[in-house]
Amino acid sequence: MSFLQPLALIALPLIALPIIIHLINQQRHRTVPWAAMMFLMRAKRMSRGMARLRHLLILLMRVLAIAALIFAISRPLSGGWLGSVGLSKPDATLVLLDRSASMEVQDLQAGESKRSTALKRLAQLLEQGDYGTHLLLIDSASGQLQEVDSPKVLLSLPVTEPSATSANIPAMLETALAYLKANESGRAEIWICSDLKENDWDVHSGRWNAIREEFTQLEGAHLFLLAYADPPSSNLSVRVENVQRWERGNDAELVLDVIVRTEGGFLTGAEGRIAARRVPIEFEVNNVRSVVEVELDTLGASLKGHRIPIDAKLSSGWGSVSLPGDANPLDNRFFFVFSEPPVRKAVVVSDDAKVGETFRRALAIPTDVRIQHHVDVIPMNRVAEIDWENTGLLIWQGTLPSGLVAEQVQHFVNNGRVAMFFPSKLRTSTGTGDQLFAARWGGWQSTTGEQSDTKGDISWWRGDTDLLAHAEGGDALPLSELRTYQYRDFESQGTLLARFDNDAPLLTRVATDQGAAYFCSTLPTAQFSSLERDGVVFYVMLQRALAEGSQTLAVASQRDAEIDVLADRNQWEPVAPTENSSISQRGLHAGVYRDEGYWAAINRSQIEDNAKTASLEAVDGLFDGLSYRRIDVNVGDTSALASELWRIFLIAMAVVLMLEAVLSLPSRKTESTPLMDLAVAEGTTE
């Protein structure tokens, strides 16, 4: 229990006062000669039961009354659960605030979101209590740790405002750990305010073990979780899955795929039955608004291929899709930007003309006739001619680049483009010394020889994502039919996307900050594999890589809100909404930004719309063995986390004193036979 006047607790030994007075009183007895000893002894025998208990109770009541008075003066703080925490003054208090979009779910009556409620209650608690020498804030959007002057300031900081980002709770805890270790803080209180969304907590991540272990080693760290796990009472979210600008003759139109998701009891009627409901979706493009009504089912609604005619001269621009207001205002509007589809340009670098032609053929055929593909095949000695700015995909077949070219390739990838590396035909028993992205080629291996440990079959590939993902209908790519006759060993710590039956890698994606870099251990020509002959896998793989690399070529891009999402250009200016004024918070809020001819639409990530709430047991399990307390709160609950208890103690004191008075009341004498009457009565009989 924490106290506003802890010094008053020094007076606690005074609770022994009634006992001491009782003992002194016992010693201050007078001596009196007494005749009726037989009644005295009988009375003493009788008083060993209830009377003695009553006397002890009177003493106890007096002790409790003094204790209650002292506690009242010391002004204890409590909030039900808080009363049993038993904490003393911390050296530092860290507030880990989840600013993700889902934290903006509001209580419709109070008009307060989970984030604002948590902040207010926490600020009130810290204001009443003692938050120590340092009060620090780690917000999920920036992930940065910053010192705060006072709890009240928490309510007005830009870094505690709502954001469209997702949270990374493990990373925030790691930041907190780093601070506590670096500053060797003694007792520290860490308050986590979150709605326990699975994507924010990532409860299955291996990072939690390390976090738990490090917290175990930290003595005096106490974790509190303000858990707003209650789902919204009724909420709809809208998202534009796809937006494309097409031209038909002299006209132009936008084609949008819009998804509406339901959450909570949106479709539940007054009698608890699920009822279909129509919801208007408002589109705004170039200041022109249109409304389309969709019918919701239990999962929501999907509006595929919705066409909005636009001015043919409008080659790029922005728009938004909106829903009527509900529990979470942050997911009721989705911004999108559009532009003419860019020319998908790929460069194949190979000294082998045959191999280069194979790549060119696979890349030159577009998946959509409305998209233009452009492929250049150049030898190694003409690398300097590559137009890095306008290229989306780089195919590099040969010895890994080094020096300036290697730097250019890395820069190319870090700008969000894709590079695919295929081995050189040069046969060396050991790998060359060149390495790129911490990867290097090894020696060539044959799958046809008697000594070979593989027949060149693909034993496993990653079908859920990336280049070899299953088709949209769920059909797997025919990698099982692929035959590899020769492959080259490859050394890397990257993510395996496909491997042979001897566990040797076929396709690997290495770690990069932006973009993607792939290493394929064989060549498409018939001498090495059936990639070209079977075709499907080869074509899909290259087309996906080109599509991914060309995304950054478009002047309009859809981006998930995060701290550095607008770092690629310097002159981003907000287009909509215009009220976002804080430069530091750009990229954290949903909106549209423009830099000369480039457009960027910032929205909450897709996973933020779909995220489920992690189970309380799973979250509690993350803090097993730590000093941890979860406080379950509802978004509508605006009561203080801690309140002063002195009134309760005063009332308790009054009650105790009344009890003491009742217990001290003398027993009623028997009305029928008062002793005096008995004494003077005469029993004369005759």
Residue 288, helix vs strand vs coil: strand
Residue 232, helix vs strand vs coil: coil
Residue from 7, 13, 34, 429 touching other proteins (CB under 8 A): that is 34
Q: Which of residues 60-89 bind other proteins (CB under 8 A)?
A: none
Stretch of 6-14, 33-41, 170-178, 271-279 lying at the interface with other proteins (CB under 8 A): 33-41
Contact 359, 348 (CB under 8 A): yes
Minimum separation from the CB atom of position 649 to other proteins (A): 28
| Token duo for residue 446 | 């044959």
Give the integer Cα–Cα distance in Å for 102 and 113: 10
Stretch of 26-34, 106-114, 205-213, 475-483 lying at the interface with other proteins (CB under 8 A): 26-34
Identity of residue 313? K
Residue 612 within binding range of other proteins, rule CB under 8 A:
no
Contacts with other proteins by CB under 8 A: the residue count is 40
- Smaller CB separation from other proteins, 369 or 665: 665
Residue from 7, 13, 38, 271 touching other proteins (CB under 8 A): that is 38
Minimum separation from the CB atom of position 33 to other proteins (A): 5
Give the integer Cα–Cα distance in Å for 302 and 307: 14
Residue from 21, 46, 471, 618 touching other proteins (CB under 8 A): that is 46
The 8-class DSSP code of residue 479 comes to G
| Residue 637 burial by Cβ neighbours in a 10 Å radius (0-12, 13-18, 19+) | middle
Residue from 7, 13, 29, 287 touching other proteins (CB under 8 A): that is 29
Stretch of 41-49, 212-220, 278-286, 431-439 lying at the interface with other proteins (CB under 8 A): 41-49
Residue 607 within binding range of other proteins, rule CB under 8 A:
no
The DSSP annotation for 388-457 comes to: GGG--EEEEESSPP-HHHHHHHHHHHHTT-EEEEE--S---SS--S--BTTBEEEEEEESSSTT-S--S-
Residue from 17, 42, 404, 533 touching other proteins (CB under 8 A): that is 42
Residue 661 within binding range of other proteins, rule CB under 8 A:
no
- Smaller CB separation from other proteins, 25 or 217: 25
Minimum separation from the CB atom of position 645 to other proteins (A): 34
Contact 422, 520 (CB under 8 A): yes
Residue 217 within binding range of other proteins, rule CB under 8 A:
no
Residue 19 within binding range of other proteins, rule CB under 8 A:
no
Minimum separation from the CB atom of position 669 to other proteins (A): 7
Residue 665 within binding range of other proteins, rule CB under 8 A:
no
Residue from 9, 11, 15, 55 touching other proteins (CB under 8 A): that is 55
Q: Which of residues 473-502 bind other proteins (CB under 8 A)?
A: none
Residue 109 within binding range of other proteins, rule CB under 8 A:
no
Minimum separation from the CB atom of position 76 to other proteins (A): 34
Minimum separation from the CB atom of position 676 to other proteins (A): 7
Establish how many alpha carbons lie within 13 A of residue 449's alpha carbon, considering only the half-sphere containing its beta carbon: 8
- Smaller CB separation from other proteins, 25 or 84: 25
Residue 666 within binding range of other proteins, rule CB under 8 A:
yes
Handedness of CA 573, 578, 583, 585 (dihedral sign): negative
| Contact residues for 198 (Cβ-Cβ < 8 A; gap 6+) | 611, 612, 613, 614
Residue 30 within binding range of other proteins, rule CB under 8 A:
yes
Residue from 16, 21, 40, 343 touching other proteins (CB under 8 A): that is 40
Contact 653, 261 (CB under 8 A): no
Q: Where is 598: in which H helix or E strand?
A: strand 598-603
Residue from 39, 302, 569, 582 touching other proteins (CB under 8 A): that is 39
- Smaller CB separation from other proteins, 26 or 250: 26
Identity of residue 72? A
Identity of residue 476? A
**Residues of 252-278 as b/e, b for ≥16 C-beta within 10 angstroms?**
bbbebebbbbbbbebbeeeeeeeeebe
Identity of residue 282? E
Give the integer Cα–Cα distance in Å for 185 and 350: 58
Minimum separation from the CB atom of position 52 to other proteins (A): 7
Residue from 36, 276, 291, 384 touching other proteins (CB under 8 A): that is 36
Identity of residue 351? D
The 8-class DSSP code of residue 653 comes to H
Residue 32 within binding range of other proteins, rule CB under 8 A:
yes
Stretch of 22-30, 134-142, 151-159, 309-317 lying at the interface with other proteins (CB under 8 A): 22-30
Residue 684 within binding range of other proteins, rule CB under 8 A:
yes
What is the number of other CB atoms lying within 10 angstroms of the CB of residue 157?
14
Residue 53 within binding range of other proteins, rule CB under 8 A:
no
Q: Where is 505: in which H helix or E strand?
A: strand 505-510
**Residues of 176-214 as b/e, b for ≥16 C-beta within 10 angstroms?**
bbebbeeeebebbbbbbbbbbbbbbbbbeeeebeebbeb
Residue from 5, 12, 20, 52 touching other proteins (CB under 8 A): that is 52
- Smaller CB separation from other proteins, 31 or 156: 31
Identity of residue 272? G
Residue 676 within binding range of other proteins, rule CB under 8 A:
yes
Residue 675 within binding range of other proteins, rule CB under 8 A:
yes
Residues that bind other proteins (CB under 8 A): 25-26, 28-44, 46-47, 51-52, 55, 666-667, 669-670, 673, 675-676, 678-686
